[in-house]
Amino acid sequence: MQESFNPTLTVLERIATALERIAPSPVERADFAAAEAFVWHPEPPHLKPVADVNRVALPLLKGIDRSRDILIDNTTRFASGLPANNALLWGARGMGKSSLVKAAHAAVAAELPQGTAPLKLIEIHREDIESLPALMGLLRDRGERFILFCDDLSFDAGDASYKSLKAALEGGVEGRPDNVVFYATSNRRHLLPREMLENERSTAINPSDAVQEKVSLSDRFGLWLGFHNCSQDEYLAMVAGYVEHFKIPAKAEEWRAEALEWATTRGSRSGRVAWQFVQDLAGRKGVKLE
């Protein structure tokens, strides 16, 4: 016997199938015991464990002692369950901003007393910043403590996602979870381009209010840690620290002139340039950087 055709049922099945396709994916349950660091992916929403974190040991970060001490102190208080601030590390490129965040996490996590809630590092990419509230909601009721880290955070003209960041950090109804702190690095102190601020000032009915609304984003960070171009002596100290740490068989009188020439050809002196020179030196000496 031939089955009768029901057009209403067919339409309902098609609607149900379409709704399943557009429905948000369920959040994959994270195993926070699997790693010390994770990367957040919003589509589909999950936290990917990072088995081997790309970081530099804290003692190798030279010329940023004050910023190092402040961030370590803030991170230690946070890991101990005490009040702590969101931190914005801003300034010259290549001066160790992101390296300091990763090194501070590793140093503090390694010193936690037994029985203390684990301290995890979660990286969220700049392009995924609008999903920050969803990530915070996922972490809110967890027993661990989390440093959310966004590297090279900045916003271009016409980009309104900075409003999501403002609300997630301090301005929302729920506010920032007690077990979450947000660290960001940027080349810009106010995270927004100067022309964006000037455009708001020139076109707004109340220019002062318009600019303040955008500048207030950086006010969500209780700590502003500035990083500036290093001196020649600081640059050479960075190189010396790497050479000694990795036991590269080269005396200072041998590599000093080469290191200065290396920096000159790149037009800057920074921790990144020092590391690039050391990689070149180690390669020429046949030394693996492990």
Tens digits of residue pLDDT in 39-85: 999 989 999 999 999 999 999 998 899 999 999 999 999 999 999 99
For residue 143, the model assigns a pLDDT of 94
For residue 205, the model assigns a pLDDT of 45
pLDDT over 60 (residue 180): yes
For residue 191, the model assigns a pLDDT of 72
Q: Is the dihedral of CA 30, 35, 37, 38 positive or negative?
A: negative
- The answer to whether 91 touches 187, Cβ cutoff 8 Å, is yes
Mean pLDDT of the chain: 84
| Sheet with strand 145-150: strands edge to edge | 45-50, 37-42, 119-123, 145-150, 180-186, 87-91, 223-227
pTM, two decimal places: 0.81
- Reported as half-sphere exposure (CB side, CA atoms, 13 A), residue 181 has a value of 27
For residue 53, the model assigns a pLDDT of 93
Residue-wise pLDDT tens digits, 111-148: 999 889 999 999 999 999 989 989 998 999 899 999 99
Residue-wise pLDDT tens digits, 193-227: 655 545 554 544 444 444 455 556 777 888 999 99
CATH architecture of 37-227: 3-Layer(aba) Sandwich (3.40)
Per-residue pLDDT averaged across 153-162, rounded? 73
